[in-house]
Amino acid sequence: MKSSLIHQRFQHHFGSEAQLIVHAPGRVNLIGEHTDYNDGFVLPVAIDKYVSIAARSRGDRRVVLHALDFNQTCEFSLDDIRPSQGNDAWSNYPKGVAHFLQRANQPIPGLEAVISGDVPIASGLSSSAAIEVASALAFLNVGPDTPFEMDGSELAALCQRAENQFVGVNCGIMDQAISLLGKANHALFLDCRTLDYERVPLCLADFSIVVCNTKVQRELTSSEYNKRRAECEKGVEHLRQWFPSISALRDVSLSDFRKYEDGLSLRTRKRCRYVIEENERVLRAVDALKAGDLQVFGVLMNASHIGLRDDYEVSCKELDAMVEIAWANKDVIGARMTGAGFGGCTVNLVRRDAVEELVDGIQTEYPQRTGIEPEIYVCNVGDGAFIESSRNS
């Protein structure tokens, strides 16, 4: 939402001017799926779709949040933060952030806020991380005496804890990190164990990133997501018999895994193999970007989807249909599901002069195969979260 519009909505709802407006982007992960909670490597980009929060501090400990997109208001005290159920479950993201900021001894104030965004919900583009990051920056910056003492990696880790422990989704840190640390025309190569990162130039030249939404909704809290995490941990426990120092699958090479995989069930073996191979694909993908070789990068994207479909088993018929339609287009050099899976989006690397052909093909063939009308976004690679004074809106 444009700054001027959300500022007007704040004035209308609260009868006063906002002090600041925070924008935090969604993301699309180019490669490195389900590796983040295995201490592995990821390569996302921030996209030019944002969750925006207009906020003003209060003189008390109350927090009043109005979600424009749901036309709902939630109010709570910073001294008594409890999870919400049902229609206002969206408020658990800013509530969780407020809870963990206070546990980190950040003196946050009460505030009034209007929240809106154009990051599609439950699509795999990480609207949840965007609202967490925007909420954190609003709490930390809205008060005149509020010290901002956390760097980007620390704040990303805090937002991750909010989602893990307050919302109840065992996500990794990738989504929060890219929302905070993204840079226009760069991918973020992130080591999810150390939180070391490198912004890798993304020279798309004659190519575009096209994100296609299957419109299949999934709810991570009740999905297979947490099961996959447990299966990976089971694999690590098994492998410690031979490699006592390992703490995650990222510590195991594919050749070593193959030596000792027979003691695992077929299902756990497939899960672990995918994660180990995906980490290797991310490293190769970074090398390909640095060499300007988008063709190799596209091949790695395709291999990633096959692994997610066959070994990690987090794809679905709608995602597979959308990827197969893209693969049939000679000008698409890479296509894969992105996000947690079981629905959500695909990401496609396509020649710029063939974008319209791809869009037309998906809009025609995907409904024929699934009975669902897709949404398609041609994305620019944007900056991470930023703050602006309402006076500049």
Tell me what pLDDT residue 324 has: 98
Span 182-205, pLDDT tens digits: 999 999 999 999 999 999 999 998
Three-state SS at 243: coil
Q: How far is CA 88 from the centre of its chain?
A: 21
Tell me what pLDDT residue 151 has: 84
pLDDT at residue 286 greater than cutoff 50: yes
Residue type (1 letter), 261:
E
Instruction: Give CA–CA dist 78/232, Å, rounded.
Output: 37
The single-letter DSSP state of residue 145 is T
Band of residue 392 on the pLDDT scale cut at 50, 70, 90 = very low
Tell me what pLDDT residue 302 has: 98
Which percentage of the chain shows pLDDT scores above 90? 80
Span 335-391, pLDDT tens digits: 999 988 888 899 999 999 999 999 999 999 999 999 999 999 999 999 999 998 765
Q: What is the enclosing helix (H) or strand (E) of 377?
A: strand 375-379
Burial of 388 (C-beta count, 10 Å sphere; 0-12/13-18/19+)? middle
Span 216-229, pLDDT tens digits: 876 554 567 788 98
pLDDT at residue 284 greater than cutoff 90: yes
Q: How far is CA 228 from the centre of its chain?
A: 17
Instruction: Give CA–CA dist 79/55, Å, rounded.
Output: 19
Which percentage of the chain shows pLDDT scores above 70? 95
Tell me what pLDDT residue 145 has: 64
Segment 293-308 shows an average pLDDT of: 98
Span 133-157, pLDDT tens digits: 999 999 999 986 655 667 888 999 9
Across the strands, what pairs with 211?
347, 377
Count the Cβ atoms, other than its own, within 10 Å of residue 386: 13
| Active-site entry in 36, 175, 251, 311 | 175
Instruction: Give CA–CA dist 304/336, Å, rounded.
Output: 7
* CATH-assigned architecture of domain 3-200+382-392: 2-Layer Sandwich (3.30)
Instruction: Give CA–CA dist 316/254, Å, rounded.
Output: 26
Tell me what pLDDT residue 221 has: 42
Average confidence score pLDDT of the chain:
92
Instruction: Give CA–CA dist 155/132, Å, rounded.
Output: 10
Cα atoms in the Cβ-side hemisphere of radius 13 Å centred on 3: 15
Band of residue 1 on the pLDDT scale cut at 50, 70, 90 = low
Would you call 175 a catalytic residue per the annotation?
A: yes
User: Do residues 261 and 273 touch, judged by C-beta distance below 8 A?
Assistant: yes
Three-state secondary structure along 270-313?
HHHHHHHHHHHHHHHHHHHHHCCCHHHHHHHHHHHHHHHHHCCC
Band of residue 87 on the pLDDT scale cut at 50, 70, 90 = confident
Tell me what pLDDT residue 3 has: 82
- The model carries a pTM of 0.90
Tell me what pLDDT residue 86 has: 81
Count the Cβ atoms, other than its own, within 10 Å of residue 205: 9
Instruction: Give CA–CA dist 229/361, Å, rounded.
Output: 35
Tell me what pLDDT residue 342 has: 87
Segment 309-332 shows an average pLDDT of: 97
Tell me what pLDDT residue 219 has: 58
